[in-house]
Structure formats: C-alpha cells, structure tokens
Amino acid sequence: MRVDPRMFRSVCGNFATGVAVVTSGTTSPVSGLTVNSFTSVSLDPPLILICIQNESSELLALKRTGAFAVNILAADQEDICRAFASRHTRRLVEVDTREGITGVPILSTALAYLECRVEREVYAGDHVIIIGEVLELAVQRDDEPLAFFRNNYHQLLVSS
C-alpha cells in the first residue's frame, strides 16, 4: 500500500517544530533556506542534522563550502522565514549577517545559531540528511522562538 504524500505531510504537520534558516556559502549574497527538519544528534562529539531536498540549489552551495549555520528564528522573524522558504525569493532576502569562523553567514538577529562543518551526508528518498559537527554556537537574543504547527506559524506561551 502506497502512502499518499499529501496525507503524509498533513499527519507530520501535527508535530510542532521550531523554525530555522540554514545558511552557507558567503555573506554576499546570502545562500539559505528555511528548514524545520533540524535536531541534535550527539553531545560528544556535538553533532546536529538537517534535511535538504536533493534538487535544492542551496544544497550545492553547502557542499561547495563544506560548512553551514543553523540560524534558529525568533517569534518576530516570520517574514525572514517566509522569504527563505520560497525558492523564488530566497536569493533576494536582505538580512544583517556576519561571517562565522568557517566563512558562512550567520544571521545577526537570529535567536541562536550553530555553525557546523559537514561531517556526513546520507541520501534518503528525495532529501539529503546532512550531519554537521558543531564548531561554534551562541544564543544571541532572549526572546521566544518561532514555531510551526499545522501549516501555520505560532508563538509559544512560556510561563515563568
């Protein structure tokens, strides 16, 4: 029995995720795309993973560079998320960046970031799982994260 791709997407949409922009290449122009498939893999060594569609042009920049940054977005950054989510607008996004230790762009206003060196690539269906070794990381703001649930952006209600 074949699973309907729309139903698969709908069911997976019931899992709330954070939202991040993965950047690679150089700071001008910024090469990046929005992802919600990001997770920590290991504490020792510090490893994370992201998933990128095989046909994404941003995947080529990441492979050329051998490094990337995961920029975790804050609740007030939905516009940045939407701009990097569309293949038609992601190359036109103007955001403040600084160069990380590997030379990849870090979004200056992101909630937090992890800068990584590509450790391994695993091809899985129509995506590539990129495992990265974390080289540098920081929390840049003390704000709430941007969340994604059932095809919509949400703010978390955090109690003190």
Fold classification of 5-11+18-36+55-117+138-155 (topology level): Pnp Oxidase; Chain A (2.30.110)
The domain spans of the chain are: 5-11+18-36+55-117+138-155
Query: In terms of residues, how long is the chain?
Result: 160
Contact assessment for residue 110 and residue 71, using Cβ atoms and an 8 Å cutoff? yes
How far is the C-alpha of 16 from the C-alpha of 122, rounded, in Å?
24
What pLDDT does residue 17 have? 80
Vertex 100 angle, CA 111 and 26, to 5°: 105
Strands 20-24 and 67-72: antiparallel
Structure confidence at residue 61 (pLDDT): 84
Query: Considering the entire predicted model, what is its pTM?
Result: 0.90
The pLDDT value recorded for residue 89 is 55
Listed as ranges, residues in the chain with pLDDT below 70 are: 26-28, 88-93, 158-160
Q: What is the pLDDT of residue 117?
A: 97
In this predicted structure, what is the pLDDT of residue 50? 95
Burial group, residue 26, by CB count within 10 angstroms (0-12, 13-18, 19+): middle
pLDDT value, residue 152: 78
CA 39 to chain centre: 10
